[in-house]
Amino acid sequence: MRPFLLLVLLALASAPAVRAADEPVYRTPPSVVADLLTAPRVPRGAPNASPDGAWLAVPDLRSLIPIATLAEPVQRLAGLEVLPGLWANRAALKNAAAGLTFYRVADGSQVRAQLPSDVRMGPVRWSSRGDRVAVVAYAEGGGELWIVTAATGEARRLEGVRLHTVSGVLEWSNDDSALLVSLVVDRPAPAAASRVPKGPEVRRSAGRPTPQRVARDVLRTPDDQAAFEHVVTAQLAWVPAAGGAPRPWGEPVALAGATLSPDERVLLVRRFARPAPIGFPVSLFPRRVELWSAEGGPAIVVGDVPLNDRSAIASVAPLGPREFAFAPDGRSLWYMSWRDTPGAKPQAAVRDTALPPPGTDVLLRLDAPFTGAPVEVTTAEFPVEGLMFTGDGRKLLVEEGYEPRRIERQSWLDPRDPAKRHTLVYR
């Protein structure tokens, strides 16, 4: 036996056995350090005030993310990080609050919400009257829905409700008798993908130059497409605030988002097109925009949003309907649709800021019963990034932005006379 090998064996034989007590574990630092690291975070952003301005709902923000949260299994699909056991986004769970306190604006008095001590709290929505809130609590099998009274802090969980919060919807009805939510759909998950490929991996081009930014966790196989459709499919439903069985609205859908009209007669639904595209992040996925009537019947198609491969690398306005706003009476839907200038090259206008924008943004109005053709109201020089009505419906606030020139403009127009436009901010 070689001398060097003999020395190694003797060293190993004489080494002390590793004991369980010697294994690395998490340790708590001295209290002077721990208290500093775990001090509650100061709430940021606009205060969550009740509609009547009488109360503020202030969440307890955690200073540190629990290790158990970071250890949750994650399904990464086209930029989404989904926790399949909780039907929630990982980012939302990392920012979950540890509790809730109500502050009375008149005298500063506090009321503590009587939620479970281990709650992982998500969105908080005030009722129309401003006397209570709906709270999402992330949990296994789907989010829980709690109703909390501001004056007393009394909290009540609605039984039999499992919230789907990946593309979640949570809105009170006008009379506070029910909440519009997105629910988990009970159906089996797709079979696990086989590690043995069925054939060679083939990627087809678009047939034209299509520059893209590198995106993380894009869909690559039909198994990825099936998994994506499974995690975004939800059932829209009304849940009685007093408790009881949910009332489904329509069939389960690959939900990208939904907005209820002010009069609650129609629901604007944005659904992902099938199949989901391979090689793109979810923000660029094609969608179909529909209106669902509260009275039932077939959906009204507002329009289709194509795969937004033109915006993958630069500030080029996407095609299709977008930036929706219901008039306060709910009898008309206003939205934008970009129109390319014939012969213009969007990418060239991005590279050369001396060129004019390569098209025009068109403001359209679709009137109830929403079955006719939309009316062209006016146009905007730059891509519109937001529409919002004032409460009385007499003004429509329009926000434009054009990144190649670093331009932002906010203005309002009179819906009855769109030619009247007043610029508020231009920079």
pLDDT in tens, 267-318: 999 999 999 999 899 999 999 999 999 998 899 999 999 998 877 555 678 8
Which candidate, 93, 84, 158, 145, places its Cα nearest to that of 120?
A: 93
pLDDT category at 352 given cuts 50, 70, 90 is confident
- What digits encode the pLDDT tens for the residues 191-236? 776 666 666 766 666 666 666 666 778 999 889 999 999 999 999 9
Q: Could you give the percent of the chain with pLDDT greater than 90?
A: 61
E strands in 110-177: 110-112, 121-126, 132-137, 144-149, 155-157, 170-172
Start-to-end CA distance of the chain, whole Å, equals 82
Question: Phi-psi category of 217—alpha, beta or left, where left has phi over 0 and alpha has psi -120 to 50?
Answer: left
E strands in 250-341: 253-260, 266-272, 287-293, 300-305, 321-326, 332-340
The Cα-based distances of 248 to 103, 179, 181, 239 in angstroms read 35, 12, 10, 9
In this structure, are strands 233-240 and 247-248 parallel, antiparallel, or unpaired?
Answer: antiparallel
Residue 93 near residue 120, CB atoms below 8 Å:
yes
For residue 278 the two structure tokens come to: 């391979």
**Residue 329 exposure: Cα atoms within 13 Å on the Cβ side:** 8
pLDDT at position 12: 42
- DSSP letter assigned to residue 311: G
- Higher pLDDT residue, 240 or 345? 240
Q: What is the mean pLDDT of the chain?
A: 87
The Cα-based distances of 28 to 34, 231, 382 in angstroms read 7, 37, 55
Q: Cis ω on the peptide bond leading into residue 369 (within 30° of 0)?
A: yes
For residue 121 the two structure tokens come to: 């709290």
CA angle 77, 78, 80 (to 5 degrees): 60
Q: Rounded to 5 degrees, what are φ and ψ at 247?
A: -110, 105
- Range from 7-11, 127-131, 244-248, 376-380 carrying the lowest mean pLDDT: 7-11
Residue 89 near residue 81, CB atoms below 8 Å:
yes
Residue 407 burial (C-beta neighbours within 10 Å; 0-12, 13-18, 19+) = middle
For residue 65 the two structure tokens come to: 């993310």
3-state secondary structure of 73: coil
Residue 114 near residue 155, CB atoms below 8 Å:
yes
- What digits encode the pLDDT tens for the residues 310-341? 775 556 788 999 999 999 999 999 999 999 88
Torsion of CA 34, 36, 38, 43, to 10 degrees: 180
Which candidate, 292, 322, 294, 295, places its Cα nearest to that of 306?
A: 322
H-helix or E-strand spanning residue 65: none
H-helix or E-strand spanning residue 222: helix 222-232
Distance CA 88, CA 61 (A): 18
Structure pTM? 0.85
The Cα-based distances of 87 to 67, 137, 160, 331 in angstroms read 19, 12, 15, 34
pLDDT at position 32: 85
